[in-house]
A and B are shown apart, each in its own frame.
Chain A
């Protein structure tokens, strides 16, 4: 089973829900796909057992063979290649690694070389599996790193994917293939606006979803009304509590200070399983 945790708006409590849900289940496998700003490790404190680098293939031009015919530039959709006089210039930061240039080069002058864009770290703590990716500083493209994180999905476990905020490609890459997506929101105008965007995303990719309202007593009742009108299940509400906020600030999962929440997370899991079945 794959459950992804997403939100639209940042800072609504995705990592909090992902981590505390994982700790409430015995055999969870947590995959932090927020590779730009991964945070789950701060709470899970896993023992890292293996690391692997993530590369994307970028072109390298063999100057001996290249006759600057320009075919590579013509087939590149990302302007990652340019012809200047009789040489080809490569802009690796624009390259998506599609491989078209080397395939079409009539001279066989283009070889693909690996460019490192991030790193994957895998480990565990007690029964819980853990993996996250970290995008290297200055790199723009998160999805290739996210795809490698997701290779660590384990079929015999409850896989919990912590997604990045937003509604664009990194989110789509993270939630793709999930059996269910939990949207974490807060009942403020910003939270609701971004929840509505996230709902559009989930309807487009056709993944079943429900909502967790965090800091549920700060704001107004418009989020509740919206969910009722749109027939979106509200799976759980977590009221604002300074002790929860403080636990979060110190990197402590709050089910450890408030064990009664473990049952509530198990109820959440039960509702998710019911929906999938």
Chain B
């Protein structure tokens, strides 16, 4: 302390004034002797905070246990609770003989901080819930996420029960710290859970305090869970009716669900219910689409004796895997041993194109049963389509009747209607188009069809394809069409390969050309005469002509070598 005489005289406040000033302060002050901690002064705020504390006693005897401890341990801060108030104390030295405890009532501050933290936790929880629940459209995943979130943040056990379908209810359960269980329940036992029927009946949730936790049926939770202290049953809101109910349980005799807990559970349940019911809608839609798709997707190809049939269908990225391209195969009938295949392209995309595809395939199937030849099939199909009233829809098509010839050869009778001519890959590696011609189907009443007959020697292949293949845009500029000339080169590079490898390779080369972004359907169907002898694959390919270009590298299979 500065003991020098000040340069100018100062008015020294009277002790009474000092006392009044201390009493007017908001902070509680205890002045103590440094020697034995005897309290020499208690200001008004300190009297209010610690009623009954008078000067003269030692501060170690104050009702604040933490203050006594701070004195004993020589620390200069403490916090304590007294008469429901939270007290924070700081010790400040006041000269050699005295010091002061400055005490603050921080009850409100702590309450605010706790409230803030709780609010923050709730917000974080709901944000996480929203993120995770909105992630999946798969119902089981949504149920799983719901019980995981609920068991982590809301209760010791979480059970989701779905409304009964065919008198059975699906449930999923998670006890905190254990793993998810699931199963089915009979509808008639569900009423044993207090509040459950009301929740599924669309009533507002019943407050937890009205639900008798002791009435929880034994089947709801595993034996080891222990007695349920508090139960909360919350409906999971759905589209027209609840998507299910969320049952939360806390263990122990003192467990409760506070009003805030119930509110939080309701908000959470709203989000979970939306996710679960969206997943249910999606599932129904997928089921329906799958039924419709089943007839529209390309069929499994049979493997007739002495003929290899290979199909490939790649739907445009944005379609539901059904589009305007199709192929189909019709087996031998009583008076005709031939296998007939068809590959076509209906104008347009999406469901409308798919419906027309279905009609075309059905018509062809019927025509096959009456043993029509490919040209006749096209002619009758044309009349059938024109008669159906849909004027502005047309189709391009190639139909091929396949039969075995002598010496392992395969004979194909082909007819096309406005479709790219199929390509033949000969044994010597040359590629040539089949000489066919024919008018678009479904536009004019009378079409001309110029069919052709070709024969494949063992190892030779005939490729039918849709124009999505040659019109695929890509290349270095990104806008150039793949074109028939590249397709012929690609096919030529497949000489000697098994049919599946050849089709796969063409598909791969086109995909590389467009850098994967195929925007149109691509259908391919190859007919191959199986090679009877070993493949002549022993050569190592032609040495590259240019120093930079390497034709052999076009397959780009480099990853495998490492």
Q: Please determine whether chains A and B interact with each other in the same assembly.
A: no
